A and B are shown apart, each in its own frame.
Chain A
Amino acid sequence: MKKSVIIPALLIGAFAACAPEKPNKDGDTKPEKSAVEAVIDPTKGIGQVKNVTLESPLDQARVKRGIAIYEMKCQSCHKLDETRLVGPGWKGVTKKRKPEWIMNMITNVDMMLDQDPEAQKLLELCLMRMPNQNMSIGDARDVLEYMRSNDGEK
């Protein structure tokens, strides 16, 4: 009985020790602030984006900027239909994911891939870490608007 309790505990310990730690100023490794705040609503992902209010009709200026960002930074890996290129196709993504999750994935991709179970499932599928494309929250919101448009919203 005792053994079966101890072994998982050890395994968890070992796993935690595996993650490479980033050196900070004094060399100590304290958990980063945003990780502590994480997962209030697990379906919203992890990151700065806590609450997004969507409005109809779509903001066409945002959609336009979203297209430009898509063509420069996303198109290499994401098609607009359902088919997977390097990453998953975008068709239906706004129906499947919360807007917060999408924006956190875009702006906080490294932490998402390290900690968010849904992002990790996608990594297992694609075997390619989505690159950090240096996008601001505003950029991500523009891209989200374009995704809504791509999913047929008006």
Chain B
Amino acid sequence: MKRKPIYRSLFLFGILAPASILFQFCKPKGPAEVATGNAASQAYVAPGKYDEFYNFVSGGFNGQMNVYGLPSGRLFRIIPVFSEDPTSGYGFSEETKPMLNTSHGYVPWDDLHHPALSTTNGEHDGRWVFGNANNTPRVARIDLKTFRTAEIIELPNSGGNHSSPFITENTEYVVAGTRFSVPMGDKTDVPISTYKENFKGTISFISVGKEDGKMKIAFQIKTPGVNFDLARAGKGPSHGWFFFSCYNTEQAYTLLEVNSTQKDKDFIMAVNWKKAEEYLAAGKGEKAKAKYVHNWYDEKTHTATSEMLNEVMQLDPTVLKDMVYFIPCPKSPHGCDTDPTGEYIVGSGKLAALIPVFSFTKIQQAIANKEFEGDFGGIPVVKYEAALHGEVKKPGLGPLHTEFDANGNAYTSFFVSSEIVKWNVKSLEVLDRVPTYYSIGHLCVPGGPTRKPHGKYVIAYNKITKDRYLSTGPELTQSAQLYDISGDKMKLILDFPTTGEPHYAEAIPASLVMPNSVKIFKIEDNNHPYVAKGEGKTNVERKGNQVHISMTAIRSHLTPDNIEGVKLGDEVYFHVTNLEQDWDVPHGFAIKGANNAELLIMPGETQTLKWKPLTTGVFPFYCTDFCSALHQEMQGYIRVSPANSNVPIKFSTGRTEAPAGAAGSK
């Protein structure tokens, strides 16, 4: 009687033990895979302590830029960039609406893929971070003093801005290469089947003001019709050159999955932008008609302006020689990354089983010796072997992107085999590999794309999360994983969830950013046309059917908080000035029935909410951001009378009067 269970359990063990051993060897392992050793303490940032790095992570289809701390993986902020943000009023307030204006009208959403931190001498300077809009082609500049979008420029002759916003060593230029080639110029209504004949690509070089960061399209280079994917500037010895990966050199226009993957090699396009500058200065550019907008935010008027531009300067490399070259690269290249020395360019073919590493010196020699295998669309193609430093053999499946540390090592993400592979750039020897959970896309080493990587960590931004977190229905959180790379072996120390879909990310030491953070906007400097610098300056003013209310907010009342004289059919503009001058004291503003959103007004700032009442009555408004013990008292009323009433404009705070004294409506 007693023996039977023992036999049974032994029997079960015999079956299950090998199965579980087998299961453990399956790759990638399930959620049971845990970080080892002192991982927890490495990622732990004690309450009240600061993270060492800021991590600027693209929001992908949320259109925003997400700011995390490393090594904790804590989310600090989602910076509104290309999508509306009802929380802050971005895209809803009258002041911020122009930021999302385009040549297609107001566009409330986009898809942000790549951040690029500004650099000086190829090193992070902590001034700005740029981001690209993949759908309606644009580039944004975010000011790291305010963590706000300061400027957005649209890109004409682009069919989707994916190969962007990579920057040159001193942030002279931000580039923008079109993903889709499109028909352009006067002849845009053409059959899709005329791709080879009529579709063209462009690469835009956006100049960046040295002091103010102001963006301007300096020139566009016209290219044959292909898809541009990613890019990196040269640095050090290769400063003055830019490298772009391109796929679909088959020039397919349908079922690209099959038709654009026929050739063994596509190209990396090398652009000598110093040469382009020379041609431009010599008047070799052509002015082309183009409609695109330029939007910027003024921190003194607290208002954005949108300007429509009508022409762009273009350079044609089939006429202007020695400016653009193609280098064959296997196969459908995605990442195109230059190492910290600027000598090596790593191409990552999504469908390749090896990683080619090109040498800048050899590319220059090949060009000088005219070692070309032919041309593509009138642009010379350098011989593969002549440009090649060497190949990393059998590194993994589906290489996508490469980042670098300060010790001559590269870290490449592999989507298909779901891993990060560490290898030596010079020797091309594979040194280590770790699994990611699951299917990594981009990766980030702090300072990885600069001349001086900060190293310490590599972060994986994964495309699939599956079973790593508590499930939340069919839609799961996006995720990142933090690995310690300070030793010979990479070591997983943290999983953290991310918002939107993370594509590329950059990380920068907090010490380069945090000391410059703006705490308040000085009320003295506020030049908003409807600012009320003090309660005595508050006002309600009728201009035809517009009613402009200059209101103030301070802990804890709004002035005026009783408003009468608005009539049905009026458009009411609440211009709310936050009179606070202390850090972290925003006030909010919301009114019942508003069809837009709330305002969130920083200290010293003025923001405007437009409101069009649809019925008569008395409508409440209040502060939405808990500001003090009497926050719940921070409220007011606005009265809306019939269109033909004679209720006069009247406004006050703190004044009580006998009910009989109130003006009646007819």
Contacts and interface: CB of A to CB of B under 8 A. Distances in A.
A128 B629 contact: yes
Contact of A134 (B554, B555, B582, B654): B582
A133 B582 contact: yes
A129 interface: yes
A9 interface: no
Contacts of A73: 523, 534, 579, 581
A76 B581 contact: no
A132 B557 CA distance: 17
A72 interface: yes
A128 to B, nearest CB: 6
Contacts of A85: 654
B255 interface: no
Interface string A112-128: 00000000000000011
Given A86-B556, A128-B628, A129-B628, A76 B48 contact: no
Interface in B511-552: 520, 522-524, 533-537, 552
A133 B555 CA distance: 12
Looking at A21, A86, A128, A134, the one whose CB has the most chain B CB atoms below 10 A away is A134
A98 to B, nearest CB: 24
Contacts of A21: 48
B630 interface: yes
Interface string B631-662: 00000000000000000000000100000000
**Residue of B523, B552, B579, B628 contacting most chain A CB atoms (<10 Å):** B579
Contacts of A86: 555-557
Contacts of B554: 76-77, 131
B555 A128 contact: yes
A72 B630 CA distance: 21
Contacts of A134: 520, 522, 581-582
A76 B582 contact: no
B581 A133 contact: yes
A75 B581 contact: no
Interface string B278-302: 0000000000000000000000000
Interface residues of A, number: 19
B581 A132 contact: yes
Contacts of A75: 534-536
B557 A127 contact: no
A8 interface: no
Contacts of A128: 555-556, 628-630
A27 interface: yes
B494 interface: no
Contacts of A76: 534-535, 552, 554, 557, 559, 579
Classify chain B's interface size: 20 to 34
Contacts of B559: 76
Given A128-B630, A131-B580, A23 B535 contact: no
Contacts of B520: 134
A134 B583 CA distance: 9
Nearest to A85: B654
Q: Dominant SS at the B interface?
A: loop
A16 to B, nearest CB: 16
A85 B533 CA distance: 19
Given A86-B555, A128-B556, A134-B522, A72 B580 contact: no
Contacts of A27: 46, 48-49
B579 A72 contact: yes
A71 interface: yes
B512 to A, nearest CB: 15
B585 A131 contact: yes
B106 interface: no
A23 B581 contact: no
Given A128-B556, A131-B581, A133-B582, A23 B48 contact: yes
Contacts of B580: 131, 133
A71 B556 contact: no
Interface in B597-630: 628-630
Nearest to B554: A76
Given A23-B50, A127-B630, A128-B630, A72 B555 contact: no
B455 to A, nearest CB: 22
Contacts of A71: 533-537
Interface string A85-97: 1100000000000
Contacts of A131: 554-555, 580-582, 585
Contacts of B48: 21, 23, 27
Contacts of A72: 523-524, 533-534, 579
A135 B534 CA distance: 15
Nearest to B48: A23
28 contacts: A21-B48, A27-B46, A71-B533, A71-B535, A71-B537, A72-B533, A72-B579, A73-B534, A73-B579, A75-B534, A75-B536, A76-B534, A76-B535, A76-B554, A77-B554, A77-B555, A86-B556, A86-B557, A127-B629, A127-B630, A128-B555, A128-B629, A129-B628, A131-B555, A131-B582, A132-B582, A133-B582, A135-B581
Interface of A: 21, 23, 27, 71-73, 75-77, 85-86, 127-129, 131-135
Given A131-B581, A134-B522, 19 more contacts: A23-B49, A27-B46, A27-B48, A71-B533, A71-B534, A71-B536, A71-B537, A75-B536, A76-B557, A76-B579, A86-B556, A127-B629, A127-B630, A128-B630, A129-B628, A132-B581, A133-B582, A134-B582, A135-B581
Interface of B: 46, 48-50, 520, 522-524, 533-537, 552, 554-557, 559, 579-583, 585, 628-630, 654
Nearest 4 A-B pairs (CB), nearest first?
Answer: A134-B581, A132-B582, A71-B534, A72-B534
